[in-house]
Amino acid sequence: MAEILIKGVAKSFGSFTALHSIDLTIADQEFMVLLGASGCGKTTLLRIIAGLESPTQGEVWIGGKRVDQLPPRERGIAMVFQNYAVFPHLTVYENIAFGLRMKKLPQAEVDTRVKRTAELMHIEQLLKRYSGQLSGGQRQRVAVARALAMEPDVILMDEPLSNLDALLRLEMRAELKGVLANSKTTTIYVTHDQVEAMSLADRISVMNGGHIVQAASPVEVYRNPAARFVGSFIGNPPMNFLPAARNGDGRYQVAGIALDGPSSGGAKLEFAIRPEDLTIAAGGLKATARVIEPLGAHTLVTSEVDGKLFRAVLDSDLKVAPGDELSLVPKPDRVRWFDPETTRAVN
Amino acid sequence: MNSKTLPYLLLAPATIFLVVFFLWPFLQIAWLAFTTEGGFTMQHFQTMAGNWKFWPTFWNTVILAAIVVPLQLVMALAMAQVVAKLKTTRNTILYIFTIPLGLSDLAAGIIWLAIFEQSGFLNSMLVGLGVVDKPILFLGYQNLWVIFIAVILAELWRATAIVMVILVSGMGLIPKEYYEAAEVFGAGPWKRFVKVTLPMLKPSIQTAMILRTIAAFEVFAVVVALGGTTLPVLVGETFNWQFALNDRNVAAAFALVILAISIAATLVFLRVLRTPKGATL
Amino acid sequence: MSGAVATADKPRAVSDIGAAGRFLFWAGVVLLCAWVLVPIYLLAVNTLSSPQEVTAFPKTGVPSFDMGSIQFFLSFEGVLKALWNSVLVAVLTMILSIAIGAPAGYALSRFEFPGKATFRMLVLMTRAFPLPLLALPIAVMFIRIGLDDTPIGLALVHTTLAIPFAVLITFSIFSGIPLELEEAAWTLGCNRLQAFQRVVLPLVLPGITASAIFAFTISWNEVFAASVLTVQNRTLTAFLLQSLSVSPLHLRFAGGAALVIPALIFIFAVRKYMFAMWGIANR
Count of structural domains within chain C: 2
> Under an 8 A CB cutoff, do C256 and B106 touch?
yes
Q: Angle, nearest 10°, between helix axes C135-145 and B24-34?
A: 100
Facing C189 at nearest CB: one of A73, A83, A156: A73
Count of structural domains within chain A: 2
C184 to chain A: which residues are within 8 Å by CB?
79, 81, 85, 87, 146
Task: Tell me which of A273-287, C110-124, C264-278 is least confident.
Answer: C264-278
User: Is the domain of A243 the same as that of A207?
Assistant: no
User: Is the domain of A216 the same as that of A274?
Assistant: no
Domain harbouring C187, CATH code: 1.10.3720.10
Facing B96 at nearest CB: one of C36, C55, C260: C36
C57 to chain B: which residues are within 8 Å by CB?
118-119, 123-124, 127, 135
Banded model confidence at residue C267, pLDDT cuts 50, 70, 90: confident
- Burial of A45 (C-beta count, 10 Å sphere; 0-12/13-18/19+): buried
**A79/A50 Cα distance (integer angstroms):** 8
Q: Does B211 touch chain C (CB under 8 A)?
A: yes
Q: What is the CATH number of domain B56-272?
A: 1.10.3720.10
Tell me: pLDDT of A190 over 50: yes
User: Is the domain of A153 the same as that of A11?
Assistant: yes
Q: Within chain C, where are the H helices?
A: 2-6, 19-47, 51-55, 68-75, 79-110, 116-125, 135-145, 151-175, 179-187, 192-195, 201-221, 224-229, 236-243, 249-269, 274-279
Tell me: pLDDT of C66 over 90: no
Q: Is residue C130 part of a domain?
A: yes
User: Is the domain of A221 the same as that of A245?
Assistant: no
Give C188-217 pLDDT, tens digit per residue: 999 999 999 999 999 999 889 988 988 999
User: Is the domain of A89 the same as that of A146?
Assistant: yes
Probe site for chain C from A54, A73, A110, A151 (most C CB atoms < 10 A): A73
User: Is the domain of C125 the same as that of C32?
Assistant: no
- Burial of C65 (C-beta count, 10 Å sphere; 0-12/13-18/19+): exposed
Backbone dihedral angles phi then psi of residue C48, each to the nearest 5 degrees: -95, 25
**Which residue type does B272 have?**
V
Instruction: Report whether C175 contacts C113 (CB < 8 A).
Output: no
Facing C184 at nearest CB: one of A71, A85, A89: A85
* Residue C5, pLDDT score: 42
Backbone dihedral angles phi then psi of residue B208, each to the nearest 5 degrees: -60, -40
* Residue A186, pLDDT score: 94
Facing A52 at nearest CB: one of C181, C186, C191: C186
Domain harbouring A297, CATH code: 2.40.50.140
**Which residue type does C223 have?**
V
- Chains with ≥3 CB–CB distances under 8 Å to B: C
> Under an 8 A CB cutoff, do C159 and B21 touch?
yes
C215 alpha-carbon distance from chain centroid: 6
The whole-angstrom distance between C97's CA and the closest CA on chain A is 26
Probe site for chain B from C43, C282, C283 (most B CB atoms < 10 A): C282
Cα-only R_g, chain C: 24
Give A13-65 pLDDT, tens digit per residue: 888 999 999 999 999 999 999 999 998 999 999 999 999 999 999 999 999 99
Cα-only R_g, chain B: 23
The partner residues of B40 in beta bridges, in order of sequence, read B35
Facing B221 at nearest CB: one of C126, C241, C276: C241
Instruction: Report whether A175 contacts A138 (CB < 8 A).
Output: no
Q: Mean pLDDT across the stretch A188-215?
A: 94
Which H/E stretch holds residue B63?
Answer: helix B54-85
User: Is the domain of C161 the same as that of C41?
Assistant: no
User: Is the domain of A72 the same as that of A216?
Assistant: yes
More confident position, A266 or B234: B234
Of the three residues A197, A229, A261, the one that is the final residue of a domain is A229
A82 to chain C: which residues are within 8 Å by CB?
180
User: Is the domain of A41 the same as that of A176?
Assistant: yes
User: Is the domain of C207 the same as that of C278?
Assistant: yes
> Under an 8 A CB cutoff, do B7 and C113 touch?
yes
**B210/B263 Cα distance (integer angstroms):** 9
User: Is the domain of A275 the same as that of A196?
Assistant: no
**C46/C67 Cα distance (integer angstroms):** 11
Tell me: pLDDT of C12 over 60: no
> Under an 8 A CB cutoff, do A50 and C187 touch?
yes
* Residue C279, pLDDT score: 55
Backbone dihedral angles phi then psi of residue A340, each to the nearest 5 degrees: -65, -25
Instruction: Report whether A157 contacts A189 (CB < 8 A).
Output: yes
User: Is the domain of A279 the same as that of A314?
Assistant: yes
- Per DSSP, the three-state class of A70 is coil
**A43/C9 Cα distance (integer angstroms):** 51
Domain harbouring A223, CATH code: 3.40.50.300
Tell me: pLDDT of C57 over 90: no
Facing B114 at nearest CB: one of C32, C42, C223: C42
Domain boundaries, chain B: 1-45, 56-272
Instruction: Report whether A27 contacts A3 (CB < 8 A).
Output: yes
* Residue C283, pLDDT score: 43
* Residue A1, pLDDT score: 64
Tell me: pLDDT of A292 over 90: yes
* Residue C9, pLDDT score: 47
> Under an 8 A CB cutoff, do A78 and C188 touch?
yes
**C44/B28 Cα distance (integer angstroms):** 43
**A278/A331 Cα distance (integer angstroms):** 6
Instruction: Report whether A190 contacts A157 (CB < 8 A).
Output: yes
With a CB cutoff of 8 Å and minimum separation 6, the contacts of C203 are A88, A89, C177, C181
CA-nearest residue to B206 within chain C is C282
* Residue C13, pLDDT score: 52
B91 to chain C: which residues are within 8 Å by CB?
271
Domain around C8: 2-47
Instruction: Report whether A279 contacts A287 (CB < 8 A).
Output: no
DSSP strands (E only) in B34-183: 35-36, 39-40
Tell me: pLDDT of C68 over 90: no
Q: Is residue C99 part of a domain?
A: yes
Tell me: pLDDT of C276 over 80: no
With a CB cutoff of 8 Å and minimum separation 6, the contacts of A343 are A227, A228, A229
Domain around A87: 4-229
Reported residue count of chain B is: 281
Banded model confidence at residue C1, pLDDT cuts 50, 70, 90: very low
Backbone dihedral angles phi then psi of residue A201, each to the nearest 5 degrees: -80, 145
> Under an 8 A CB cutoff, do C263 and B102 touch?
yes
The whole-angstrom distance between B50's CA and the closest CA on chain C is 22
* Residue A244, pLDDT score: 93
A194 alpha-carbon distance from chain centroid: 5
- Chains with ≥3 CB–CB distances under 8 Å to A: C
Which H/E stretch holds residue A49?
Answer: helix A42-50
- Per DSSP, the three-state class of B47 is helix
* Residue A150, pLDDT score: 93
User: Is the domain of C210 the same as that of C257?
Assistant: yes
The whole-angstrom distance between B255's CA and the closest CA on chain C is 7
> Under an 8 A CB cutoff, do B105 and C138 touch?
no
User: Is the domain of C15 the same as that of C138?
Assistant: no
B151 to chain C: which residues are within 8 Å by CB?
none
Sheet of A77-80, strand order: A77-80, A154-158, A186-191, A31-35, A203-208, A211-216
Work out how many CB contacts closer than 8 A connect A with C.
Answer: 59
Interface of A with C (CB under 8 A): 50-52, 71-73, 77-79, 81-83, 85, 87-89, 98-99, 102-103, 146, 150, 156
Of the three residues A229, A257, A288, the one that is the final residue of a domain is A229
Banded model confidence at residue C2, pLDDT cuts 50, 70, 90: very low
User: Is the domain of A179 the same as that of A243?
Assistant: no
| DSSP string for residues in A277-298 | GEEEEEEEEEEEEEEEEE-SSE
User: Is the domain of C274 the same as that of C164?
Assistant: yes
**A23/A7 Cα distance (integer angstroms):** 5
Q: CA dist B217 to A104, B58, B214, B235, B265, Å?
A: 60, 10, 5, 8, 10
Banded model confidence at residue C133, pLDDT cuts 50, 70, 90: confident
- Per DSSP, the three-state class of A168 is helix
Q: Mean pLDDT across the stretch A285-304?
A: 93
Q: CA dist A177 to A172, A206, B40, B218, Å?
A: 8, 20, 80, 67
Q: Does C239 touch chain B (CB under 8 A)?
A: no
Facing C189 at nearest CB: one of A52, A99, A156: A99
**Would you tell me how many other CB atoms lie within 10 Å of the CB of residue C272?**
12
Q: Mean pLDDT across the stretch A214-222?
A: 95
* Residue B154, pLDDT score: 94
DSSP strands (E only) in chain A: 4-13, 16-26, 31-35, 57-62, 65-66, 77-80, 154-158, 186-191, 203-208, 211-216, 240-246, 252-254, 257-259, 268-273, 278-294, 298-305, 308-315, 325-330, 336-338, 345-346
Which residue ranges in chain B fall short of pLDDT 70? Answer: 1-2, 278-281
Facing B1 at nearest CB: one of C130, C132, C192: C192
User: Is the domain of C13 the same as that of C122?
Assistant: no
Q: Is residue C58 part of a domain?
A: no
Q: How many CA atoms lie within 13 A of A5 on its CB side?
A: 10
* Closest alpha carbon to A84 in A123, A28, A42: A123
User: Is the domain of A71 the same as that of A171?
Assistant: yes
* Residue C4, pLDDT score: 41
User: Is the domain of A249 the same as that of A203?
Assistant: no
Backbone dihedral angles phi then psi of residue B134, each to the nearest 5 degrees: -135, 155
**Would you tell me how many other CB atoms lie within 10 Å of the CB of residue A259?**
16
CA-nearest residue to B17 within chain C is C160
Probe site for chain C from B15, B20, B22 (most C CB atoms < 10 A): B22
C186 to chain A: which residues are within 8 Å by CB?
51-52, 71-73
* Residue C281, pLDDT score: 47
The whole-angstrom distance between C128's CA and the closest CA on chain B is 6
Whether the ω angle into residue A238 lies within 30 degrees of 0, i.e. cis, is no
User: Is the domain of C116 the same as that of C255?
Assistant: yes
Q: How much of chain A, in percent, has pLDDT values that exceed 70? A: 100
Of the three residues A198, A229, A260, the one that is the final residue of a domain is A229
